[in-house]
Each structure stands twice: as structure tokens, then as C-alpha cells.
Copies of this chain bind each other. A is one copy, B any other.
Amino acid sequence: MSNKYTIVFRAEGNEDRVVTAGETILEAAKKANVPLDAPCSGNGTCGKCRVKVLSGESESGQTRHISREDYAQGYRLACACEIRSDMVIFVPPSALAYQNRIKISGGEREQAVFSALREELRTLGFTGDSGLEILGLTLSRPDLGNPIADRERLLMALETLRGEGAPPLGLSLHAQRKLPAALREGDFSVTCVLRRGAGEDLVLNVFPRGASNPVIAGLAIDIGTTSVSILLLDLLSGEPLALGSAGNGQIRYGADVISRIIESSRPGGLERLQRAVIDECIDPLIRALCRKGGIDSEDIYRAAVAANTTMTHLFLGVNPAYLRLEPYVPAFFEGGTLRGIDTGLFLHPDAEVIPAPGIGSYVGGDITAGTFSSGVYKKEALSLLIDLGTNGELVFGNADFLMSCACSAGPAFEGGDISCGMRATDGAVEACGIDRETMEPALRIIGAAGQKPAGLCGSGLIDLIGELFRCGIINARGKFIREGKRVCRDEWGMAGYTIAFAGETETGRELALTEGDIDNFIRAKGAIFSAIRTMLVSLDFTVDSIEEVYIAGGIGSGINVENAIRIGMFPKLPLERYHYIGNSSLSGAYAMVNSRRAAGKVTEISRGMTYLELSSHPGYMDEFVAACFLPHTDGGLFE
């Protein structure tokens, strides 16, 4: 049912958006395409959709997310505030979903990872293997006695240059459209970008011949449930040009893949979700990367996309409904090779877009790509890959066998479902210690010197909870058992730890971790640990048999494994067996876009990997419940 009131949404730097529909402000915002952040899907639990009512009736119960002062000023949770009159709503930046917060860097920080991978690809013989090349040539000029058309003139010259035995040549429509001007600007000297194909080689682009060669660029795209990361790179050198990340615009339809699948089955939902990730997130990111890298979208000839199974379905506009219905069957494992124009991405219309293949409903291309980039598939040692995303995915095995499974960790490791959570970008607390005596914290914050804290990313959360537990400030159930200046309690009695006082933060609001946040986190870490246990038990292995552990995911620049073990998130193993490998899904996509053979290897990995469906596995639920303590109900596991 829709109301008949007019709702105006106002945000800094944006035009007003007006709508006359919706039962609540959150619903109206969805219809007005205002991307309010609502990872809890509007249940009133996350407190992210905090807006300010400038005019109109707005009685709604005060909640723990809105202080008395803020309530008096007109702040409301959009999900809890019914529409009973015309309204004007101010949307503060903090309530806008992630996609407005694109971050671009030169990729300096990650340069080391990609350098190592490039070296690795070279060792494996997977280089210079994108199928793309540059050819320069000079054509005869047309005259009345030689009025051959531009296309045929070019193709004949290319055939002569390439000699006999070369495959037949085609000209992409994009290049055809540019050809007449390019030939005449370059006085019939041109530079072509060619792609070798199975049956036919294709001229993808043509430029008037000049001083510098055209760029052959590619994209490695990692689509996470919560955030999206994209690397723009030079495909001839493998050199990163720019790296960017943004929140996944789908987050306003819910934080986890199940909410997204449900939304996609509503009328128009599939298209809405596809638009939310492509138009609002991936394409703006690509534009920003192109600006940073100084290239045009037509220079991007190849892209690899690694994502979980639901995200891959939504990216391609394929209905994911059957992923959550027994027997949990995806619409596809392998997406084949698509053309740019099919995907709606902002790149060359004839670009090759290659989704990394998935192997099950909840183990997707992000994991097969990550299995490649972690190297687990070719190790002798029994190795465990843990990818900490909104879904936690695990791969266990070595060169002889690979098994994988997935668990729903929720978005806590990426800062979701945590009142003070945020992604690992500027202002995020990425590490922290606590003085046992004074209970005073010491924070390490992402960003330039002097950066004030704005929230906690995954690694900061693990540290903070580990330290709170180590210092005896919270107990095994995550409840506060010490009092002090840093321990606050709200009017409902919920306790929290003040990480930074209002005057010390980026936002000017106090930064605190509540018992509710700790609850959410404990469920997330419990899901991970119980999945590890269940998979090992199903294979008749014990935790001790794990020889190497690779931790992946966008939880921060690193992870304090000691604290992660202390809180029962990871098994108790010698610390040197743990390796943090960053975003392995993105690294895998980087390998796939660089090299056709690497992409083929990822497909090979996916075809050989076994999938363990945890949701129907007996024993998993018991393991999960047992793991929802600090560190575990079976403390012996961590001694």
C-alpha cells in the first residue's frame, strides 16, 4: 500500500528527490532511489538509517539508536518512522549507503601483492597471454583509381603484414565507427588493437598513429556482498594503474545474500539489484579509475569478475531464487565469456568479460579465484583458506584434493551490523590495544597522520574484542563485567566500551562498541570456527593437521591472529602457520584478466573442487552453538 503524501529527500550535494509512496521513510527512500543504508533490512536493529525530519509529522518511539537530544532535533530511524503527512527529510552522509563513498588509490599499498602475483604468473608461464596485441601500419591513400573502402583497405594491409597462415580478421563495430576519422587524422598511418580469437582475430580499436602507443587496459573486479573492489591495470605490463573500492549499492536491500535473493524475486527486483551494483557502484568506480589512470573506457578490453554465487547471478541479471531452495542449485557454475555490451559495464563493447566459475550455491567465483591466488591448489602442505566476507568461505586441501564450504558470517567482518563498524578505509580503527589497568585504548587508524577515528573495521573489531576479553572487561558471553570511565550504559542498561569520546572522533559523535555489537560479532566468529571444525571432521581430520592457513578478505591491512585465536575465531595453531593474503578474490581476478591460461586454471580448479553443503550437514548447528562463546564452550580447544 502506498501513501498519498509527498516526501522530499534532501542530501548535501544532491538535488532533492521527491516521491509519493511508501509506508515508512525507508520504503519511500527506496522508491525515490535514495540509497539509505539499511543492512538489517529495516528491522530497526542496526541504526544506520538515521535521518533528520525537517518538516512533517514524525512520532515514532525513541530507540537506543537515537539519543534524547537527537530525537528532539528530529532524528529518526527511517525504517521505524511511519508516513502520516507530507515530509521533508534531510539525509546525513552517515545514512547514505556505501556507494557514495568511492575510494580510489594509486594502489601503492597493494603494489607488493600484485608484484608478487605478477612474479608468480611469470613463474607459472602465465604471462603475455591476454590475447591482445598492438600493431602499427601505414596504408596506401585512396584516390579515384583506388577507391577501396576504409575497412577493406585496413584489413588487406593487416593481412599482408601478418603474412600467410594468420587467422581471418574481423573489425569490431566500435573500431569501424572510429576508422574513417582515424585514417584521415593519421594520414593513413594507424595503430590497431587486435585480439586473437578461436576462429577469427578481431580488430578492437584503431587510432591515428602518434607518438605513444594506445593503452591496453583490463579490470579485475571483486564484487562482495558488502563492498566492491576494482583494479585497473595495464595488460601489456601487468602493472596496476589504479585501485578503487566502494560499498555494494545493493546493501539497502539487506546486508546478506538471502535478503538480496528475496528482494530479487519481487517484481522488478532482479533488475533493481543489477542496477544497484552496476549503475551505482561498478560503473562509477570504473569511471573514477579511468580518470585516475588517465585512460578511456574504450581502452579496457578485458575484465575478470570474481564474486560469490549470488552476486555473480545478480551481476548478470540471472534469477538467483533457486540458490536458497532445496536442492540449492545455481543457474550456472561457469558464466562463459561475455562481451562488454552484454554486461552493461563501462568498457569497450567488445571487451571479454569473464566471470570466475563457482562450484555451489554459496561457494562462488571469489573462492575459486582465491584458491588460485593463494596457491592452495598446488601446495604439498594441507592448507586452509579462510575468506572473511559477509559469507565466510573455506577451502581445505592441497594439490591432491580441495574441499570447500560456506557459512553465513554476516557483514560484521566488513563493519556491517556493528553500530560503530565501517569498511577498512580512512578513519577506520584497524588495530587496537587496551591497558589492563587503566582500560585506556591505543588505536591504529587508517589514513594520513592525524586522522581521527570514524569507526572500526574488521581487524580493529577482532583486536578490540580480544583485548576487552584479555583484560577481563567482558566475560565469555561478551557481557561487561568491569566498570570505569570507558564503560558506559544506556537507559535500557545495555553496556558498551567508549573507544573515543565525541570530541576525539571524525564525526563528532562518540565511538562505542556495545554488547549488541559484541553479540553480532560472536555469532560471526562462531560461524567461521564451527565451519572449520565441521569440514575437518567430515574429512576425518583434526584441527592440528592444518599445516598452513591463508586468511583473506577486506577486514583491514592485516589481522592480529593472536587475538583472533584468543576469542575462538581461528583454531589454536602456531602463529607462523597463519598468513594474511588480503583480497584473494581480487588477486585471483587479477591473474585471470592478465592471462587466459590462468583463467583456464581457475576453471580447472572449480571443476575439481568438492562442495560441502553445511546447511544440510548434521552436526553443524551444534558446532555453531558451542562456538558462540569466548573462546568456545570447549575451552580445551584453545589451551
Contact = CB atoms under 8 A, between A and B. Distances in A.
Interface string A326-366: 11111111111011011000000100000000101100000
Interface in A111-166: 142-144, 146-152
Contacts of A332: 149-152, 171, 176, 179
B331 A151 contact: yes
A173 interface: yes
A200 interface: yes
Interface stretch (A40-48, A237-245, A313-321): A313-321
B333 A149 contact: yes
Contacts of A199: 197-199
A170 interface: yes
A329 B184 CA distance: 12
Nearest to A317: B177
A347 to B, nearest CB: 15
Interface in A341-393: 341-342, 349, 358, 360-361
Prevailing SS type, chain A contact patch:
loop
Contact of A176 (B151, B318, B321, B327): B318
A152 to B, nearest CB: 5
A616 interface: yes
A147 B360 contact: yes
A608 interface: no
A368 to B, nearest CB: 13
Contacts of A328: 144, 147
A152 B317 contact: no
Contacts of A170: 336
A332 B317 CA distance: 35
B147 A318 contact: no
A322 interface: yes
A588 to B, nearest CB: 20
A150 B336 contact: no
Nearest to A316: B173
Contacts of A197: 199
Contact of A147 (B152, B329, B338): B329
A181 interface: yes
Contacts of A149: 329-333, 358
Contacts of A330: 149-150
B198 A334 contact: no
Contacts of A322: 150, 180, 184
A86 interface: no
Interface in A293-332: 316-319, 321-322, 326-332
A338 B150 contact: no
A331 B173 contact: no
Nearest to A359: B149
Interface string A455-475: 000000000000000000000
Contacts of A147: 327-329, 360-361, 611, 613
Contact of A342 (B171, B173, B179): B173
A563 B472 CA distance: 110
Nearest to A180: B331
Contacts of A327: 142-144, 146-147
Contacts of A338: 173
Interface in A597-633: 611, 613, 616
A150 to B, nearest CB: 5
Contacts of A181: 319
A142 B349 CA distance: 36
A170 B332 CA distance: 12
A331 B176 contact: yes
Contacts of A349: 342
Nearest to A350: B342
A581 to B, nearest CB: 28
A318 B180 contact: yes
Contacts of A342: 173, 341, 349
B151 A333 contact: yes
A334 B171 CA distance: 10
B200 A331 contact: no
Nearest to A179: B331
A334 B149 CA distance: 9
Contact of A180 (B143, B319, B616): B319
A336 B319 CA distance: 34
A582 B176 CA distance: 33
Given A147-B361, A171-B336, 5 more contacts: A144-B326, A144-B327, A146-B327, A152-B333, A180-B319
Q: Which 5 pairs across A and B sit closest by C-beta, in order of nearness?
A: A151-B332, A199-B199, A198-B199, A149-B330, A149-B333
15 contacts: A142-B329, A144-B616, A146-B327, A147-B327, A147-B328, A148-B329, A149-B329, A150-B322, A151-B333, A177-B317, A180-B319, A180-B322, A181-B319, A339-B339, A342-B349
